[in-house]
Amino acid sequence: MLTISAIPGDIAASDADAIVVSLFDGTTSLSGGTEIVDKALHGAISELIAEKEITGKHGEITMIHTLGKLPTKRVIILGLGKREKLSANVVRQVSGSLGRYLKRIGAKRAATLAHGAGIGGLDAGTAAQAIAEGITLGAYAFVQYKSKKDDQPGNALEVLEIIEQDTGRMPSLKAGVVKGALLSEAVSIARGLVNEPANVMNPIKMAEIASEIATSAGLGITMLRREDMVEHGMGAMLAVTQGSANEPRLIIMEYKGDLDHPDNNIALVGKGITFDSGGISIKPSGGMWEMKGDMAGGASVIGAMHAIAKLKPKINVWGVVPAVENMPSGTAQRPGDIIRAMNGKTIEVDNTDAEGRLVLADAICYVKEKMGAKRVVDIATLTGAIVVALGHVTTGVFGTSQSMVDAVLAASKVSGEKMWQLPMFEEYRRQNRSEYADVKNTGGRPAGSIAAAFFISEFTGGVEWAHLDIAGTFMAERTQGHEVKGATGVPTRTLIELVEQLAAS
Ligand code: BES
Ligand code: MN
Ligand code: ZN
C-alpha cells in the first residue's frame, strides 16, 4: 500500500530513497526546487542539460547518483514536456511513468516536488492530485495469479512525500493528495474487476464484491435475483441470461447525500456482461478473451460508488449493474426471438450478440419506474463500431439531454479521460425498426454506435439521459503514462467528477 502525503520543507534536505525534480522541454535556466538540487549537486543537472543528455521532453526520466552530495542517494529528473502544453493530464502521465520507474529501481520511499504547480501555473491541489493518480495508477499491476516472486508487489513504493517550500500551498496540496489517492483506489477497483477472468468474475462474484464495497463504505445495497426479474417482467435481461449456467444479478448500490431533496438524484447504470461470447450469434474465437471485460461499465460504476461514498457530495446516487453472462447453449435465446422489456415494449432479437442494450433496457426501466431516477448515465462496452469511429483514444458520448451530455463532457475535461459527443439525429432511429416487434436490437452496419444509442433511448423516456460507449477505451493495448496494459478503469474518474459537479450545481 502506498501512502502519499504533502509536507512542508526543502526537498534537497530529504533522505528518501530518491528525490524527484522536474524541468520543461527546452529549459536552460533552472528554477525552484530543481535549481536548489542542482546547486547542491554542484551544477550536475545544468551540465547534463548543456550536453543535451537531459532535454526535459515529455516523460523523460534521468537518474543521477548523488554520491554523498545530498542526504538522498538518487535524484530523478522528470521531463514535463513543453511548458505551454502543461496540463494536469501531462502531470498525470509523466507521473505514471515515474511510478513504474520508482518500482523498477526498488525505491520504497520517494520525495517529489509538486510538478507543474510552480512556474507551470497549475493549481497546487490539481498538481498534487494528478501526481497521486499518476504514480498510483502507473504502478498498478494485476499479478495475483503469477506464482513467481519477482512479479509480486514486494518492492513497490510505500511512501511518497510531496515536498513544498511555500507553506501557503499546504492545504490545497493536502486536499489534492487525498482526492488523488481516493480516485486511484476507485480506478484500481474497476481495473481489478475487469482484469479478473470470467470464470472468477461471474455475476454472483460481482454482486459479492459490490456488496463488500457498499458495506465498508456505508452504502445501501440491494440485489435482484432471477425470481425478482421475472416478477418485474424484465424479459430483456432474462433473455440474455437464459443461456448461461451462472445466475444473474441486478446490483443496486445506494448513496443518500441529499435526503431533503429525493429528486436530486442520478443513476449510474453500468453494463455488467461478465462474459460476452455473443450467444448463439457467437463471436469469432480470436480475441474473444477480451470479452471478460464486457462488464467494464459496471466495474467503473462500482469503483465510482466507492469514492462517492467517501467524498460525500450533496446528491443521491444509485450505482446500478445488470450483471449477466451471455452464453450459447440449449437454453439460450435465438436470433428471431421476440421478447418483452419491463416497460412493455417488444424487441425482436436480430442478433444475440447485441445483448448489452438488452440488459441496459431493463435496468434503465427499473431505475426509472421503481426508484424514481431523474437523471441516468449509462456506461457500456456497447459496440465494435465505436472502435472504428474513435479508436482506442476516445469514449463516445450520446444523449437525449444536451445538459447531461455537457455535464459529462465537462467532467471528462477535468479527469483527462477523453470523450467526444456523437449525434443523435432523428434520421438514425429508423435503423432499429422491426418487421414483427416494436423495435429490433440491431441497426445494421452504418453508424452502429448511434443505432445502439437509439435502441437504449427507447427505454429512457422521461429522464435526462446520457450514454457512454467505452468499447474502445476500456482496455489499453500498451503501457503508457498512467495506463497499464489491460483494463484502464475508464471512465471511473469522470463519473466521480460528474457526480461532484452535479452536486455543486
Ligand atoms: N460487447 C460487445 C461490443 C464490444 C466490441 C466491446 C469490442 C468491446 C470491444 C457488444 O455486446 C457487441 O457484441 N456488439 C455488437 C453489436 C452488433 C451485433 C449489432 C458489435 O458491435 O459487433
Ligand atoms: Mn455482444
Ligand atoms: Zn457485449
The string of pLDDT tens digits covering residues 294-346 is 999 999 999 999 999 999 999 999 999 999 999 999 999 999 999 999 999 99
Q: Are residues 126 and 220 in the same domain?
A: no
Is ligand 1 within 6 A of the CB of residue 469?
A: no
Residues 158 and 102: beta-carbon distance below 8 Å: no
Pairing of strands 439-440, 346-348: parallel
pLDDT of 119 reads 86
CA angle, 203 as apex, 463 and 343 as ends, to 5°?
Answer: 30
Average pLDDT, the chain: 97
Pocket test for ligand 1, best of 282, 383, 490 (most atoms within 8 A of CB): 383
Q: Are residues 18 and 86 in the same domain?
A: yes
The string of pLDDT tens digits covering residues 422-453 is 999 999 999 999 999 999 999 999 999 999 99
Q: Are residues 210 and 322 in the same domain?
A: yes
Return all residues near 216 (Cβ < 8 A) that are at least 6 apart: none
Residue tagged active-site, from 73, 283, 340, 345: 283
| Ligand closest to CA 289 | 1
Structural domain containing residue 68: 3-185
Q: Which of 411, 417, 193 is nearest to 298 (CA)?
A: 193
Please report whether residue 191 resides in a domain. no
DSSP bridge partners of 317: 255, 266
Q: Are residues 105 and 216 in the same domain?
A: no
Residue 429 cell numbers, joined: 432511429
Residue 95 identity (one-letter amino acid)? S
Q: Are residues 445 and 369 in the same domain?
A: yes
CATH code for the domain in which residue 255 is found: 3.40.630.10
Q: Are residues 78 and 207 in the same domain?
A: no
Positions in the chain whose pLDDT score sits under 50: none
Q: Are residues 463 and 390 in the same domain?
A: yes
pLDDT of 241 reads 99
SS3 assignment for 130-171: HHHHHHHHHCCCCCCCCCCHHHCHHHCCCEEEEEECCHHHHH
Length of the chain: 505
Q: Are residues 115 and 225 in the same domain?
A: no
Q: Are residues 32 and 101 in the same domain?
A: yes
Q: Which of 432, 410, 434 is nearest to 421 (CA)?
A: 410
pLDDT of 151 reads 66
pLDDT of 148 reads 82
Grid cell 467494464 is found at 296
Please report whether residue 329 resides in a domain. yes
Q: Are residues 270 and 351 in the same domain?
A: yes
Domain termination site, one of 185, 210, 225: 185
Neighbours of 104 (CB within 10 A): 10
Domain termination site, one of 151, 185, 219: 185
Is ligand 1 within 6 A of the CB of residue 381?
A: yes
Atom of ligand 1 nearest to the CA of 356: 11
Q: Are residues 156 and 208 in the same domain?
A: no
pLDDT of 153 reads 67
SS3 (DSSP) at 491: coil
Return all residues near 32 (Cβ < 8 A) that are at least 6 apart: 113, 118, 119
| Residues with Cβ–ion distance below 5 A, ligand 2 | 276, 353, 355
Q: How many domains does the chain have?
A: 2
Percent helix, strand, coil in the chain, to 5, is 40, 20, 40
Please report whether residue 417 resides in a domain. yes
Please report whether residue 292 resides in a domain. yes
